[in-house]
Amino acid sequence: MTLEKASTVWRAVMVEDLPRVELDGRILPVRTTPKKRLREVEEGN
C-alpha cells in the first residue's frame, strides 16, 4: 500500500467518518471497537 492510498483510507475513516471504505477494489466495513472507540477496517479473508 502506498502512502497516498493509506492517507486516502485514513481520511475516509477518521475525517469523513464513512461506514465503508474502498481498498484494493474491495469495499470493506469500518467498525468502532467497544472499549476504546477506535476505528478499524475489517478485512475479511
What amino acid occupies position 32? T
The tens digit of pLDDT for each residue in 1-40 reads 889 998 999 999 999 999 999 988 999 999 999 999 999 9
Q: Could you list the residue range(s) of the whole structural domain that residue 36 is in?
A: 3-41
DSSP assignment, residue 24?
T
pTM of this prediction? Answer: 0.74
Please check whether residue 30 is in contact with residue 40, taking contact to mean a CB–CB distance below 8 angstroms.
yes
Cell of 7: 492517507
Residue 45 has pLDDT above 70, yes or no: no
Beta carbons within 10 angstroms of residue 35's beta carbon: 5
> Could you give the number of structural domains in the chain?
1
Question: Measured between alpha carbons, how far is 26 from 34 in angstroms, rounded to an integer?
Answer: 25
Confidence at residue 4, expressed as pLDDT on a 0 to 100 scale: 92
Element (H, E) at 12: none
